[in-house]
Chains A and B, each alone.
Chain A
Amino acid sequence: MTAIPKEEYLLKCTSACAGCSSSLCLRYITKAAGPDTVLVVPACCTSVIQGMYPNTAMDIPVYNIAFAAAAACASGLSNAFRALRRETNVIVYAGDGGTVDIGIQALSGAFERGTDFLYICYDNEAYGNTGMQRSGATPLGARTTTTPGGKPTTKKDLDRIVEAHDPPYMATACSAYPLDLFKKVKKALSIRGPKFIHILAPCPPGWRYSAEKTIEMGKLAVKTGTWVLYEREYGNLTINGPSKAAIRKPAPLEDYIKGQGRFKGVTPAMLEQMRQQMQANITRLVREEEGIC
């Protein structure tokens, strides 16, 4: 097993909600990246959980930037560091709103330019910081403050958009598997070029479940097949262990849906549509891994 460094770069006592999976992810990302790292954070929960001026919970430099500019800012930072012949890691840590909706043009631009950086999107499937408004990443049927009857449209498939840029490394992760996330960040930082990691980050107040179930929800998302853990290295796809097991013997989708208050109004027809989408996604990934398409 990989040894996890004992140093914490996210100091105790952030203003994150109790049971926040984003701060759990951030702990392991910063552990994997080490002290020679600059974090670029657009407006999202993480810009709040650092705490108030003149204090910050982050023990590494953080650049707080506007929503639409995170990847562009990271491009500049990365180029400046490389020009100085410094190998400082530049990591963008952005929420789903700042990635799939507002920040997508900067993300696309930075990936096209081949900037040497790591873009991490932690996805709680809504704008959590401002009180759960729908985002492009909100799944079908989920209730948010702006979709009180459940979202009528499906989740934007960000991974396929990023895949179209052909990055040297991209992966999905889940906060319930922190060691897997640690390994993926380590691997991503060892590769030159634009890298992307998409993390599913369950959110207790937003998804409407009690705080102690954060890990359970993440595990259920993977076990039901709703979220598939995989890595794509230079175009070669590998589905990771927990998801392989889930594809062979999936847990019932109802277990994941019933545990969350945001899916309260889901109709059987919607559930069937969700199941079909999930199956289509899994089939596509399995076929890609086998080299069929």
Chain B
Amino acid sequence: MRERLALSRPTEASSGKTGSWRTFRPVVDREKCNACGLCAQFCPDSVIDEDLVIDIEFCKGCGICAAECPKEAITMVREDR
């Protein structure tokens, strides 16, 4: 059916896969992580899920998670592209 109204539909990745914006990739050291969840709380793009796994396809690499981690379990590693 033809869409008569110019409505935008809710979609993930409405701006494409923003993982390609990244210069630095967050790498989690599971040994140091105590699962406090502050990284997920402060992530502006909600790419960190309940199990604290970072969705690398969408992560823009801002580094807030690494800066706010109290255990310093996240390091930002330069992407090689």
Question: B residues 13-69 with Cβ under 8 Å of A?
Answer: 13-18, 21-22, 41-47, 50, 55, 58, 60-64, 66-68
For the complex formed, measure the closest distance between the CB of A26 and the CB atoms of chain B, giving whole angstroms.
9
Say whether B4 faces chain A, with CB atoms less than 8 Å apart.
no
Chain B interface residue bracket vs A = 35 or more
Set A6, A50, A178, A211: member contacting B8, Cβ < 8 A:
A50
Set A14, A23, A24, A215: member contacting B14, Cβ < 8 A:
A14
- Give the residue name and chain of the B residue nearest to A219 (CB): B68
Chain A residues with CB below 8 A from B63, complex form: 19, 210-212
Set B11, B22, B41, B60: member contacting A11, Cβ < 8 A:
B11
Q: How far is the CA of A133 from the CA of B44 in the complex (A)?
A: 24
Chain B residues with CB below 8 A from A216, complex form: 67
Say whether A270 faces chain B, with CB atoms less than 8 Å apart.
no
Contact call B44/A23, Cβ cutoff below 8 A:
yes
- Give the residue name and chain of the A residue nearest to B42 (CB): A215
Contact call A15/B45, Cβ cutoff below 8 A:
no
Chain A residues with CB below 8 A from B11, complex form: 11, 51, 55-57
Chain A interface residue bracket vs B = 35 or more
Chosen A-B contacts, 14 in total, with CB atoms closer than 8 Å, are: A8-B46, A12-B45, A13-B16, A18-B62, A19-B44, A20-B44, A23-B45, A50-B14, A55-B10, A178-B41, A211-B64, A212-B64, A212-B76, A215-B42
Chain A contact residues, majority secondary structure:
loop
Contact call B42/A24, Cβ cutoff below 8 A:
yes
Chain A residues with CB below 8 A from B64, complex form: 19, 211-212, 214-215
Residues of chain B at the chain A interface (Cβ within 8 Å):
3, 6-18, 21-22, 41-47, 50, 55, 58, 60-64, 66-68, 76
For the complex formed, measure the closest distance between the CB of B29 and the CB atoms of chain A, giving whole angstroms.
17
- Give the residue name and chain of the B residue nearest to A14 (CB): B15
Contact call B67/A57, Cβ cutoff below 8 A:
no
Say whether A16 faces chain B, with CB atoms less than 8 Å apart.
yes
Chain A residues with CB below 8 A from B14, complex form: 11, 13-15, 50-52, 55-57
Q: How far is the CA of A215 from the CA of B62 in the complex (A)?
A: 11
Chain B residues with CB below 8 A from A21, complex form: 44
For the complex formed, measure the closest distance between the CB of A1 and the CB atoms of chain B, giving whole angstroms.
12
Say whether A183 faces chain B, with CB atoms less than 8 Å apart.
no
Given A52-B14, A53-B6, A212-B67, 19 extra CB contacts under 8 A: A12-B12, A12-B45, A12-B46, A13-B45, A14-B14, A15-B14, A15-B18, A18-B21, A18-B60, A18-B62, A19-B63, A24-B42, A24-B44, A50-B14, A54-B7, A56-B14, A57-B10, A57-B12, A57-B14
Chain A residues with CB below 8 A from B43, complex form: 24
Chain B residues with CB below 8 A from A11, complex form: 10-12, 14
Chain A residues with CB below 8 A from B3, complex form: 54
Q: How far is the CA of A208 from the CA of B16 in the complex (A)?
A: 26
